[in-house]
Structure 1
Amino acid sequence: MNQLNCLPQDAVFWGENTLATALPRVVNHGIERPIVFTVEPLEALARSHVEPHLEDMAGYFTGLPAHVPDIAVHAALEACLRSDARAIVGLGGGSVLDAAKAVSHLHHGRTGRHLPIVALPTTLSGSEFSHYFGITETDGPQKFKRSYAVRETTPKLVLIDPLLVRDTPRALLLSSAIKGIDHAVEGMRKVTRSHPHAIMAASGVDRFLRVLEKWPAKIETRQALEAGLVIDDDLLQLQLGAWQCYFSPASVIYGLSHRIGHILGGSFGLPHSATSCITLAPVIEACAAYYGDKLEALSPGGPGAAARLAGRISAVVAKLGLPNRIGAFDLDRAKLPEVAALLTAHYPEEVADLGPDAPARLDALLERLW
């Protein structure tokens, strides 16, 4: 029997000038007295393009570091309770939106009511479309990013506007696109080639790669726009690619590339968006036997889809100048056994995707990623 699991999302608005046209209408969806979650570099964007369109704001909360540490989540929850916020507008990337979901979840624990979320994504990972979030636990001997899946925290509304990503730092924007492609690829683990995820993800991967393969080198997005090297529609295509790659998150279960990223990010501090640049292509090749012919849905052309897809992703990462090795970051190579131990302890099913003698294959994979 085939099955598509749907999440409780009211609407997605997309296109140029979406912020100005859709934000004033969020009250029609029950969004009242919102607090804006964002980070300091985005506060000017919030004050110029978000605040003017919101009524009866409860204020701002900007203390949201990467990887959603539990301390920040609890501080954000207290800010919501003090200000009598009744909704959250999340302006930012995956960490901001994960924090919004985490706070909504904890708010329900304290008050019996989830806070509805309006997502204004400034990166391309697609967190705005899912009910998944992570919280990095900081009180143990080793930090650990624990994953949650709470349907009621799915953002109620999503607004996609090229304006949101024009000034996202180049490395963050483009690496988050690779994270978006990671959702498409690993979403194939538990579905068939005819599943809606496969159909939408194929379109999303194609949208992503067609834009990324022509992206200019080195210069920031705003400069590329001013020079006419990219246009707002290119940005919109990337945003739509993120949506298509993550179109049915409640129906898919992600794999080893994501899990390595969770450990490298949550436990060892690597940038979350960069981890898929390091892990995705090698994991596709290492787990090719597990996927079988499924990846032909994303890379048509007959047998050899895993190698084709991995090669295309590797080439894009290299062309864009994105990090493709753990060794590019401040992580001692001697920590790799700890990474392997955490993966084996917390994510044995994903490690098993490597096939026979998975522990030894995992060690070899991590060495390759170094």
Structure 2
Amino acid sequence: MNQLKCLPQEEIVWGHDVLKAVAPAMGNYGIRRPITFTVEFLEALNREHLQPAISDGVGTFTGLPPHVPDFAVRDGLRACIEANAGSIIALGGGSVLDAAKAVSFQHFQQTGRYLPIAAIPTTLSGSEFSHYFGVTETDGPQKFKRSYAVRETTPALVVLDPRMIVDTPRMLLLSSAIKGIDHAVEGMRRVDVDHPHAILAARGVERFLAVLEKWPRKLETREAIAGSHVSTDDLLQLQLAAWQCYFYPASVTYGLSHRIGHILGGTYGVPHSVTSCIALAPVIRACADAYGRKLGIFSTDRGSRTPAAFLADRIEAAVDALELPSRLGDLDFDRAKLPEMAALLRQNYPSEVGDLGEDPGTKLDALLESLW
């Protein structure tokens, strides 16, 4: 049975300098008495571009470490209740967005009311378009990032403004684009090529790679723009690509690259977007039989290569050209942790591990070894 599930997202606004027009009117989207969730690195951006435009804001909360640890969610909820916040503005990347969703959900559990969210993303992973979020549980013997899907936490408003990503650190910005591509590719796991996800995701991947494949080495974004290597319109194209790759998240389920990313990030502290730089291309090759011909939608002119090989090669080439980490060894990850990581994947994500085919346990061990 084919089906399309839509999320309760009211409006997405995009364009150059659109935040200055949208921020004063957020009350029209139910964003009233907002508390701003962000991180210290983005405080200057928050003070200059967001706070002056908000007439009824109740403060800013910045206690948001990566991977959304449970204690930060509790602190964020406490900040919302103490400020009598009526909504949340999430200014930041995937961890900030996930924290806002988690707090909104816990606010519902405690008070019976969700906090509406306005999302102003500063990275390209696409969390602002979904109802998914992860929270890293820290109270047990081993940290574990648990996934949730709560429709009511979908941001009501998303603002895509290239100004918001100009100063995002190079590695974070570009690796989050690979995470965006990960959403497109693994979103094919349970849909076919005629599904709206597939059609939009294929366009999104091309949109991403058209910009990434011309991105200069080493230069930060402002330097790249000053040297006319890329433009602010290219930044907007990246933001639109992230949206197209993650357009129908309620209609798809994600696979082994995502699950490896959850373990690497939540349990071992590897930066979230970097996990896709390391895992996506090898997982595409390893799970090629599970996806079959469907990956051909991403590779119309591949010569003699299979769809999976062509797509994996192209992603791998982009990661290498952008000088992003491509091996766990590049991050000083302890190789001795690989068996423990394999056990966590088999225990918590047997369906995704099953995409490896016959004898998935042995293939998983070999795959993780290749990532190192």
TM-score normalised per structure 2: 0.99
Rounded Cα–Cα distance in structure 2 between residues aligned with 1:225 and 1:307: 33
Who is 1:309 aligned against?
A: 311
Who is 2:73 aligned against?
A: 73
Rounded Cα–Cα distance in structure 2 between residues aligned with 1:232 and 1:333: 40
Who is 1:3 aligned against?
A: 3
Rounded Cα–Cα distance in structure 2 between residues aligned with 1:305 and 1:229: 30
Matching residue's letter, 1:339? M
Who is 1:18 aligned against?
A: 18
Counterpart check, 1:180 vs 2:180:
yes
Q: What SS does the aligned partner of 1:219 have?
A: coil
Rounded Cα–Cα distance in structure 2 between residues aligned with 1:46 and 1:331: 34
Rounded Cα–Cα distance in structure 2 between residues aligned with 1:21 and 1:305: 43
Alignment match of 2:330 (pick from 324, 328, 339) = 328
Deviation at 1:2, TM superposition (A): 2.1
Who is 2:260 aligned against?
A: 260
Counterpart check, 1:169 vs 2:169:
yes
Rounded Cα–Cα distance in structure 2 between residues aligned with 1:307 and 1:330: 28
Unaligned runs of 5+ in 1: none
Rounded Cα–Cα distance in structure 1 between residues aligned with 2:155 and 2:85: 16
Rounded Cα–Cα distance in structure 1 between residues aligned with 2:225 and 2:52: 25
1:101-150 alpha-carbon deviations (Å, 9 max, x no partner): 00000000111000000000000000000000000000011000000000
Matching residue's letter, 2:320? A
Who is 1:352 aligned against?
A: 354
Who is 2:284 aligned against?
A: 284
Deviation at 1:330, TM superposition (A): 3.1
Moved more, 312-321 or 323-332: 323-332
Deviation at 1:331, TM superposition (A): 2.1
Who is 1:158 aligned against?
A: 158
Matching residue's letter, 1:204? G
Alignment match of 1:342 (pick from 341, 344, 357) = 344
1:198-234 alpha-carbon deviations (Å, 9 max, x no partner): 0000000000000000001101001111222211000
Counterpart check, 1:363 vs 2:365:
yes
Q: What SS does the aligned partner of 1:202 have?
A: helix
Rounded Cα–Cα distance in structure 2 between residues aligned with 1:332 and 1:320: 24
Matching residue's letter, 1:44? A
Who is 2:100 aligned against?
A: 100
Deviation at 1:30, TM superposition (A): 1.6
TM-score normalised per structure 1: 0.99
Matching residue's letter, 1:332? D
Q: What SS does the aligned partner of 1:292 have?
A: helix
Matching residue's letter, 1:154? T
Who is 2:298 aligned against?
A: 298
Rounded Cα–Cα distance in structure 1 between residues aligned with 2:29 and 2:322: 40
Rounded Cα–Cα distance in structure 2 between residues aligned with 1:188 and 1:12: 24
Q: What SS does the aligned partner of 2:273 have?
A: helix
Who is 2:142 aligned against?
A: 142
Moved more, 137-146 or 50-59: 50-59
Matching residue's letter, 1:308? F
Matching residue's letter, 2:307? A
% identical aligned pairs:
67
Rounded Cα–Cα distance in structure 2 between residues aligned with 1:31 and 1:304: 48
Report how many aligned residue pairs link the two structures.
370
Rounded Cα–Cα distance in structure 2 between residues aligned with 1:191 and 1:134: 23
Moved more, 1-10 or 97-106: 1-10
Who is 1:84 aligned against?
A: 84
Matching residue's letter, 2:325? P
Rounded Cα–Cα distance in structure 2 between residues aligned with 1:192 and 1:43: 43
Segments of 4+ in structure 1 off by > 3 A? none
Rounded Cα–Cα distance in structure 2 between residues aligned with 1:301 and 1:125: 26
Rounded Cα–Cα distance in structure 2 between residues aligned with 1:167 and 1:274: 18
